Structure 1
Amino acid sequence: MFYYFIRKIIFLIEPEVAHKLILKYLYSQHIQKIINFFLQPLPKKKIKCMGLIFDNVLGTAAGLDKNGEYIDVISKLGFSFIELGTVTPIAQIGNPKPRLFRLIHMEGIINRMGFNNLGVDNLIKNIKKSDFKGIIGINIGKNKDTSIQNAINDYLICIEKTYCYASYIAVNISSPNTTNLRNLQYGTMFDQLLMHIKKKQTEMCRKYSKYVPIAIKISPDLSTTEIIHISKKLIEYKIDAVIATNTTIDYSLIDNKKNNQKQNGGISGLPLQKKSTEIIHILSKILKNKIPIIGVGGINSVDSAQEKIQAGATLIQMYSGLIFHGPAIIRKIIRKV
């Protein structure tokens, strides 16, 4: 109940500013001492996925900590893994502000951030400074100024630079906020992307004697036919996991009579919940456990977390649910799912 009181104050602040303030506040030494004192150890429910052992099913979705600045404090909240990013080869400011909007009445968020980040080299520096020894995923993307025809090179650069510091690498080809990015999910572009990614993974594995799994993050706005095609290609190229899903641009999911309904960008949170679960269900039927699914999109309760698992997800991630329900929801999910 305490968080919901605090949330009223937080929601008076512009969303992007509030996000940074909360993370900085949690990072303070005094708050860290309180967290360490009051938080009881969580039960460990070991799960194997992508050849890695996770302490529980729940991790953070990309976007919560783009630059790896808050790894240590986030890890203490109970998550079994942290996915950093999206990060690009070169730092970029992203889309013009404001670019993050709350749909308070329906526990949703609209964002058009545009892969704002300080670059892959900065992320690696922050990972090196962290004391966290758990599982870290690094979510990678292409720079805005890189043409879609040359996008593969950006992903290969990021794989090469992050390979030794990631537990797994997530390839983001489904954000709606970078022009033409979603084209990489289709046709020969998708084939070429997977082929080059696997080639680079093999090369790095031989170089460092370390196998780092690669996951592909897909859109919730795909047709069943497109999902079938993508699934077959993921199996063909032996991709290690699929993350379902990114944000949606299906504006029919939000109430057009409320504030922020005319904002462009990807919708996350509760409005995305059913759609992402349906995608997981379709993937599960096609993949038949050949490739694990990481479910994300609208997880805001124990029930919604269980729905993702029942639909076929091995692991789940959350971000928006944390904003609307606070850290307590993390521990509820971990204890009961």
Structure 2
Amino acid sequence: MYHLIRPLFFRFEPEGIHHFVTAMLKTVNRIPGVSALQRKMLHVNDPRLEREVFGLKFKNPVGLGAGFDKNASHVKEIANLGFGFIEIGTVTPLPQPGNDKPRMFRLPADEGLINRMGFNNQGAEVAAGHLRHLKRDGLIIGGNIGKNKVTPNEKAVEDYVKCFDVLFDVVDYFVVNVSSPNTPGLRELQEKEPLKNILNTLQQRNSKNGISRPILLKIAPDLTDSQLDDIVDIVKETGIAGIIATNTTLSRQGLTSPSSVTSETGGLSGKPLTKRSTEVIKYLSEKSGKAFPIIGVGGIHSPSDAIEKLEAGASLVQIYTGFIYQGPTLIKRINKALLRRNK
């Protein structure tokens, strides 16, 4: 069904159709019985799919990556599609419009997307407000946090702390995003010393709250092996819960789409990222001796892509671009494939 309507969606500008579809999703779910019907058609409820990772119990290992629901405006409706967990954000302390439009570009020939959104969001307080009275029904929610564009790197830790404090009571885990290529200078925070400062500060904050939240680090696929070695050391030194591998890439290698699109600045996601993100997962898993959990994301467009990530060392997976290209049944297909694999 989705493959019949996708060509129509793809006639429209990507960001505009995204807002149209999410608005329609919210409208449709107001119709009595629709939510229950979606859950009946798309959910795969089986205890064999459950995962306990960094102290949290996930109904299934397939999550929605950050960026789709930046302001936590559609969590209830998205949950009906069968996800085991949803990551909101990236959220910054203050609202910001993001980069100038257009800022998202499709690469249908490569099943990819290029985006330079720039952490456009309504701010941490708005996201927290949307989550405060949400009925979870076992759904795990992650909060992906970043710094405002106007905040200099030497004060970045203050922005991460502000987001952490505002969202602490309404999310189940945190993701520190220092790997987006679309905020000037942000990736410089992946260097060992500034990164340790941010993570240690959040960990100290975490231990003062009586209860603690798992803190994960989202990394870029463009890191060298030496930088990945540093990441392993940082995870062990700071005691954070794990890694999300990976964010979007700056590489344009192997693309077949027209240069008019591939030359756009921004991070590339989707199928072109499949191999590299899996390589990073495998490297981190082996180098660390499986010392910490990894959430695998990047180019998952089929059940076999998800299984490949899990076999490489991921404990959970997330989809985003694959969700756009393959539609909501991808979640169910992955979960069904995992059940067949576990027979």
Task: State the partner residue of 1:230.
Answer: 231
Worse-matched range after superposition: 70-79 or 252-261: 252-261
Distance 2:32 2:92 in 1: 30
Q: Out of 82, 94, 99, which is 2:98 matched to?
A: 94
Aligned to 2:217: 216
* Displacement after TM superposition at 1:256 (Å): 5.8
Q: Who is 2:33 aligned against?
A: 33
Q: Is the 8 A contact 1:65 1:71 kept in 2?
A: yes
What does 1:233-244 align with in structure 2 at a 5 Å threshold? Answer: 233-244=234-245
- Taking the aligned partners of 1:36 and 1:75, their CA distance within structure 2 comes to 11
SS in structure 2 of the partner of residue 191 of structure 1: helix
Distance 1:168 1:299 in 2: 22
In the alignment, the residues of structure 1 paired with residue 335 and residue 187 of structure 2 have an alpha-carbon distance, to the nearest angstrom, of: 33
1:48 aligns with 2:56: no
Aligned residue number for residue 206 of structure 2: 201
Unaligned runs of 5+ in 1: none
User: What is the RMSD computed on CA atoms of the aligned residues?
Assistant: 1.4
Q: 1:131 offset after TM fit, Å?
A: 2.4
The residue type equivalent to 1:112 in the other structure is R
Unaligned runs of 5+ in 2: 339-343
Question: Does residue 1:327 correspond to 2:331, yes or no?
Answer: no
- 1:197 Cα shift? 1.7
Q: 1:192 — aligned with what?
A: 197
Say if 2:167 is the partner of 1:162: yes
Equivalent residue for 2:341? none
Q: Distance in 1 between matches of 2:92 and 2:134?
A: 20
Percent pairwise identity: 40
For 2:14 and 2:279, how far apart are their aligned partners in 1?
Answer: 29
Question: For the residues of structure 2 that align with 1:72 and 1:222, how far apart are their CA atoms?
Answer: 35
Q: Could you tell me how far apart the structure 2 residues matched to 1:139 and 1:315 are?
A: 16
Conservation of the 8 A alpha-carbon contact between 2:248 and 2:267: yes
CA contact 1:269–1:299 (8 Å) conserved in 2: yes
- The residue type paired with residue 60 of structure 1 is L
Deviations 1:285-318 (A, max 9, x none): 1222221000000000011000000100000000
Alpha-carbon deviations, 1:230-256, whole Å to 9, x = none? Answer: 111111111101000000001124236
Distance in 2, Cα, partners of 1:227 & 1:313: 16
What pairs up with 1:296-311 in 2 under 5 angstroms? 296-311=297-312
Moved over 6 A (4+): none
Contact 2:172 2:214 in 1 (8 A): yes
More displaced 10-residue stretch of structure 1: 124-133 or 141-150:
124-133
**Deviation at residue 32 of structure 1 after TM alignment:** 6.9
Q: CA deviation at 1:203?
A: 1.9
1:112 aligns with 2:116: yes
Work out the CA distance in 2 between the residues paired with 1:259 and 1:187.
36
Distance 1:35 1:334 in 2: 20
1:34 corresponds to which letter in structure 2?
V
Does the aligned pair in 1 maintain the 2:96–2:119 contact within 8 Å? Answer: yes
- Whether the 8 Å contact between 2:285 and 2:291 is mirrored in structure 1 is no
Q: Match for 1:66 among 61, 64, 70?
A: 70
Separation (CA, whole Å) in 1 of partners of 2:83 and 2:292: 22
Partners of 1:84 and 1:138 within 8 A in 2: yes
Matched residues in 1 for 2:126 and 2:34: separation? Answer: 29
